[in-house]
């Protein structure tokens, strides 16, 4: 029996995201396992682990909104921008005030350019940046556009500043810590990081590795798996008739008539069969038809029942 779905895993400190994926692969016996957004080894919190058919929607999850709680230590700069790196500079941060930090956080609000750290999993000419960094090689990294919708100062205990951040996908909180230290003139590094949210999952509902391992051992892991379409519930949905269902299963375009005059906003929608199972991800073509980008078969086990999709028809 294949396992298809998504686990909201509470990643512990000291484990790589790849190590967590390897554990879930071993416990589940499912070959296709991947995560939707790396967490650094010392970071904790929400790690979205996709299993079976769930791995086919990873591309739709990489850019989702995330929330982090970060402790940033002023006055110490490291080569990795976090606490595991080697200290490369020490400066006096005693003159930095709480009000300065608040104003600086406000300046990061919105769309900003951010340079990824060398110690990251990004590729450069076939190698990961962190591999080059370990060889003592540093390469130019192009700034990337990232977005911060909230930066809130939670605690001021100099030299440590605790903040909570809402941001878009592709954001490096280590780089944010580095940029804060540079702007304040004293340097800084990321001391501690917790991912509180990776839409639509929250740390409050995350399952620990210990509990998940026991659930696989006992055979009741179904209580922790989320259906493949649960992460797409913010998209519009279509319930297909038999004819359109057959076309989608063959990879053919279909024409949808949604409730309302204008149809759904956005370029994707969820498609369900007449008997209610999640059938496909459809992408809108330039001609106004809907093309099946991903077609799924129904799960062979029971998962938590979800609310019905919004009313629409074809």
DSSP letter for each residue of 245-275: HHHHHTT--B--EESSSS--SSSEEEEE-TT
- Amino acid 131: pLDDT: 65
Homologous superfamily (CATH) of 5-64+200-228 is Pseudouridine synthase (3.30.2350.10)
Q: Across the strands, what pairs with 222? A: none
Q: Which CA distances in Å does 159 have to 88, 91, 101, 278, 313?
A: 17, 11, 11, 51, 58
Identify the residue whose tokens are 């609000």: 109
- Amino acid 311: pLDDT: 38
* pLDDT one digit per residue (tens) for the chain, 314 residues: 689 999 999 999 999 999 999 999 999 999 999 999 889 999 999 999 999 999 999 988 888 899 999 999 999 999 989 999 899 999 999 999 999 999 999 999 999 998 877 666 665 566 666 665 566 666 667 888 999 999 999 999 999 999 999 999 889 999 999 999 999 999 999 999 999 999 999 999 999 999 999 999 999 999 999 999 998 988 889 999 999 999 999 999 999 876 543 444 468 899 999 888 899 999 999 888 999 999 998 654 444 443 333 334 33
How far apart are alpha carbons 233 and 280 in whole angstroms? 13
- Amino acid 312: pLDDT: 41
- Cα–Cα nearest to 63, from 146, 174, 175: 146
- Amino acid 119: pLDDT: 65
- Amino acid 262: pLDDT: 42
- Amino acid 141: pLDDT: 72
- Cα–Cα nearest to 158, from 184, 120, 134: 184
Q: 66-82+98-198 maps to which CATH number?
A: 3.30.2350.10
Q: Do domains 5-64+200-228 and 66-82+98-198 have the same CATH topology?
A: yes
* Token pair of 71 as six digits: 């402790």
Q: Domain boundaries in the chain?
A: 5-64+200-228, 66-82+98-198, 234-313
* Token pair of 27 as six digits: 């416990």
Q: 234-313 maps to which CATH number?
A: 2.30.130.10
Q: Which CA distances in Å does 31 have to 51, 55, 297?
A: 8, 11, 17
Catalytic residues: 40
């Amino acid at each position: 029996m294949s396992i298809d779905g998504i686990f909201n895993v509470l990643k512990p400190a000291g484990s790589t995201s790849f190590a967590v994926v390897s554990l879930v692969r071993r416990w589940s016996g499912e070959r296709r396992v991947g995560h939707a957004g790396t967490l650094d080894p010392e970071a904790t919190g929400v790690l979205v682990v996709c299993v079976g058919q769930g791995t086919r929607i990873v591309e739709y999850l990489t850019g989702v909104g995330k929330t982090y709680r970060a402790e940033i230590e002023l006055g110490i700069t490291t080569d990795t921008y976090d606490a595991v790196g080697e200290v490369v500079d020490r400066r006096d941060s005693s003159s930095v005030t709480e009000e300065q930090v608040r104003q600086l956080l406000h300046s990061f609000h919105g769309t900003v350019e951010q340079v990824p750290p060398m110690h990251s999993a990004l590729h450069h000419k076939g190698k990961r940046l962190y591999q080059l960094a370990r060889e003592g090689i540093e390469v130019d990294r192009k700034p990337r556009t990232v977005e911060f919708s909230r930066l809130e100062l939670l605690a001021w205990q100099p030299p440590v500043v605790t903040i909570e951040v809402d941001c878009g996908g592709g954001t490096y909180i280590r780089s944010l810590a580095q940029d804060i230290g540079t702007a304040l003139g004293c340097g800084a590094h990321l001391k501690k990081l917790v991912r509180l949210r990776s839409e639509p999952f929250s740390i409050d509902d995350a399952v620990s590795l210990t509990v998940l391992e026991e659930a696989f051992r006992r055979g009741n892991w179904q209580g922790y798996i989320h259906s493949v379409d649960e992460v797409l519930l913010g998209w519009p949905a279509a319930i297909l008739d038999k004819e359109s269902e057959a076309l989608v299963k063959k990879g053919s375009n279909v024409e949808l008539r949604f409730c309302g005059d204008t149809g759904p906003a956005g370029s994707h929608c969820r498609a369900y069969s007449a008997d209610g199972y999640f059938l496909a991800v459809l992408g809108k073509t330039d001609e106004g038809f809907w093309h099946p980008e991903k077609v799924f078969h129904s799960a062979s086990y029971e998962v938590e029942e979800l609310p019905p999709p919004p009313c629409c028809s074809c």
